[in-house]
Amino acid sequence: MSRVRRSVWSEGPGWNETLIWYAKAVGVMTQRPVTERTSWRFLAGMHGYHEGHWRALGVLKPEETLPGGTELDMFWSKCQHGSWYFLPWHRGYLSAFEQIVLSAVVEAGGPQDWALPYWNYSSTAEPNARKVHPAFTAPNMPDGTPNPLYTRFRFGNSEAGEVILSDLDVDLGALSDSVYSRGWNTAGGFGGGGSATSHNAGQAGSLERTPHGNVHTAVGGAAELPGLGEVPGFMSLFETAGLDPLFWLHHANIDRLWEVWLKRDQKHRNPDDARWLGGPMDRPFVMPRPDGSEWHFASAEMVATDAPLLNYVYDDVSDPLVVTAGLTEGLVPPAHQGEVEAVDTQLIGTNGTEIRLGAGGATTEVAVDEQVLRRASEQMTEGPEAAAAAGAFFLTLESIRGLNNVAIYQVEVDYGAAGGELPSGEARAMILGSFSTFGLGEASALAEGNDGMTLTFDITKLVQRMGFDTEPNLDRLRVSIVPRSAARGIEPPTIGRVNIYQDTP
Amino acid sequence: MRKRHLRIVGAVAATSAAGWVVLLLGGPILLPVICGEGWTGVASVEAFVAVNGLPAVLAAHGVMVAAMMTPLLVPSLLSISDRVFARKRLPAMLAFSLGYAAFWLVFGSLLTVAHAVLSAALPNWQATAVATAGLCLVWHALPWRQRFLNRCHVERPLAGHGIVADATALTHGCRTAASCAGACAAPMLFAMACGPFVLPAMLAVAAFLWIERILPPERPGWGLGNHLRTARRIGYMARSWPRFTRHVWQRHGAARAHA
């Protein structure tokens, strides 16, 4: 019988068996040498590492050395971001971690069915959902011993060092994305753009953008530390994220949301593409087993969580959204659900120039193919079938580059109008969502072949709204990128292009 | 794969194949020009051009670029076709290819000069081949070579409208060619130095470059570790290839059955 992953808040704010055993296991794993495959730091290094940063923060002691070259090459810095492998790689990573923790729990006399809890910060049923569970903020365990789940490198996003998650940070709009991947070069889809293995750049899927990225940045934050200057929190960087015990609960929730997405609509399918299922093509993903041996897998082995290899289920995969799935679903015939590039994606608007996100953000005008937009927006007022045939529309922020890994921005769009009003009274300006710059520094490393992050926002509802407007201004959209965190003394990020794409059958 | 992507891949494959056929049939005329045979040094550049004619020099290098380098452009061409307006696809792809080819015609000619100088300084083609192989080994062990290779993967933002769109595509082509030149120069010089085996050497070098271009970028580092990784990845791809092709055929069968 599969083990059950439950919400960290399901047993209230106090310590419970699951968390106590988790803490004990983390305590055991942190004592293991960094070169041991089942140690806490080895597992964290698999997500990412930076030797200098690890030494500066005391993660690596001066006398310690990193694992050997072959070990590093095979295991470390292998997290997949900006890619359709983001979800399967992290599922395998979490599963390997969970099995190693379980092994430590059982060795210490704990339950055989221990499972990793998840942090459902988007829950509306749990009043404390957006707070970090107290078991992770208390310096000591109930017996007075130091708490391995606590870290001083979790700075939060407020002046007081608390984690404050807004509605935008935990927004679940990603669940409305009807397609897992839209292919290689344009808009991401739910799970990310098609790619070869991608550690740090490319087209992030909507789930990877929010809530994944936002929660990383909001939890990690950054702070001035004596002798170290400004230090990003563990969760703020690829290179340190896995060192925070909360990271694993965050990713368990992201993993759960993949299951929620699949179950909320039977048309939602994983890619039926050999390059994803059997991929990556040039190497297997590799994880350590509890006995230290290697476990190789491809994406296809990550699609069923209750299969013997993974052996877990979630206690709650119910649909948290009241609205039904997007307007685009009619575009993809049932026989092609899951097929990447079943629909073509065409550029219909661009701002044509790079913008720099200063202290106040930036505003840019996107010139759009007015005819396409007018035809589609009018079609969308003619009922669901016509709306589906009109296709979906996306705004992409292409090639976001910079060094600030700890910023969150909100994206607003406004199309203006010559006159008249919307019958519904809705505003012509719309907040599309938000994004964090988690991983931006790595994504901007040109020498490593990275051309920055590309993020996608669904604007289909905005186009539909235009159809109800009496005199909409359809030849250009005003797009504003507004910072939601204080500016830092780091060169501001740039956005290569702001583009509008249309899914067309 | 989208149909328009297939068309692009088909056009590139045809261009490359045509280049190889011309090289094969016209080898005795083209290869000496490409390799600068009979050219004894910088002092006689003018004499060399006078004998062969500038158009012939450029044409020979054009054929070489078409044969060897065009397959390297596939990812960029697909990316460009997706990221510009439908009406701008062909102009943008042509502008990119033009920028790429223009850079390579000039750079290829410089390689010819380099090869001629080396040949003049060394007793025979075998010595030149050994020297260029050594150069290759050293250059490939430096992190800068990997940086050049990685930059070939960078797809720069393109302007959407007017002549600026074509200009950014042209610039993108030149910059991609510059990165490509940094990554490919040493093995191409080696191929030129292979005397009677120039053509098979060019084919082997081209295959090596194509495979490298398919693989994702690697972190730059010292030594030949990245090449060992490349070799391992090629081995893995060869072993896992059957399961990809099997899946594609299953999909093809399912689509036919559905139709």
CATH code for the domain of A160:
1.10.1280.10
Residue B79 has its nearest CB partner, among A185, A447, A499, at A185
Question: Which of residues 67 through 126 in chain A touch B, CB cutoff 8 A?
Answer: 69, 73, 77
Same domain for A283 and A392?
no
Residue A326: what pLDDT? Answer: 46
Q: Is there a contact between B251 and A274 if contact means CB atoms under 8 Å apart?
A: yes
Same domain for A123 and A209?
yes
H/E segment holding residue A290: none
Q: Is there a contact between B225 and A369 if contact means CB atoms under 8 Å apart?
A: no
Same domain for A195 and A261?
yes
Same domain for A42 and A150?
yes
Residue A182 lies in a domain: yes
Same domain for A258 and A348?
no
| Domain coverage including residue A57 | 3-314
Q: Is there a contact between B150 and A186 if contact means CB atoms under 8 Å apart?
A: no
Residue B236 has its nearest CB partner, among A198, A283, A449, at A283
Q: Out of A151-165, A220-234, B43-57, B59-73, which region has the weakest mean confidence (pLDDT)?
A: B43-57
Interface test with chain A among B158, B214, B232, B251, by most A beta carbons within 10 Å: B158
Residue A251: what pLDDT? Answer: 98
Q: Give the separation between CA A370 and CA A473, rounded to whole angstroms.
A: 9
Same domain for A172 and A234?
yes
Residue A242 lies in a domain: yes
Q: Is there a contact between B78 and A185 if contact means CB atoms under 8 Å apart?
A: yes
Q: Is there a contact between B243 and A350 if contact means CB atoms under 8 Å apart?
A: no
Residue A328 lies in a domain: no
Same domain for A278 and A399?
no
Domain final position from A275, A294, A314: A314
Q: Is there a contact between B160 and A345 if contact means CB atoms under 8 Å apart?
A: no
* Domain boundaries defined on chain B: 3-223
Residue B131 pLDDT greater than 70, yes or no: yes
Is the minimum CB–CB distance between A399 and chain B shorter than 8 Å?
Answer: yes
Residue A356 lies in a domain: yes
Residue B48: which pLDDT band, with cuts at 50, 70 and 90? low
Q: Give the separation between CA B12 and CA A8, rounded to whole angstroms.
A: 54
Same domain for A282 and A136?
yes
Name which of A293, A273, A289 is nearest A281 in CA terms. A273
Residue B113: which pLDDT band, with cuts at 50, 70 and 90? confident
Name which of A247, A161, A200 is nearest A83 in CA terms. A200
- Whichever domain contains A477, its CATH number is 2.60.120.230
Question: Which of residues 34 through 73 in chain B touch A, CB cutoff 8 A?
Answer: none
Contacts 24+ apart (CB under 8 A), B204-210: B205/B68, B206/B67, B206/B68, B206/B69, B206/B71, B209/B68, B209/B69, B209/B72, B209/B183, B209/B184, B210/B71, B210/B72
Residue A325: what pLDDT? Answer: 44
Same domain for A241 and A308?
yes
Below-50 pLDDT ranges, chain A: 324-327
Residue A320 lies in a domain: no
Q: Could you tell me if A206 and A200 are in contact, meaning their C-beta atoms sit under 8 angstroms apart? A: no
Q: Give the separation between CA A351 and CA B148, rounded to whole angstroms.
A: 30
Q: Is there a contact between A367 and B161 if contact means CB atoms under 8 Å apart?
A: yes
Residue A320: what pLDDT? Answer: 93
Residue A282 lies in a domain: yes
Q: How far B103 CA lies from chain A's nearest CA (Å)?
A: 20
Same domain for A70 and A140?
yes
Q: Out of A50-64, B40-54, B232-246, which region has the weakest mean confidence (pLDDT)?
A: B40-54
Q: Count up the domains in chain A and report the number.
A: 2
Same domain for A302 and A347?
no
Residue B231: what pLDDT? Answer: 87
Q: Could you tell me if A264 and A256 are in contact, meaning their C-beta atoms sit under 8 angstroms apart? A: no
Same domain for A412 and A289?
no
Residue B133 pLDDT greater than 80, yes or no: yes
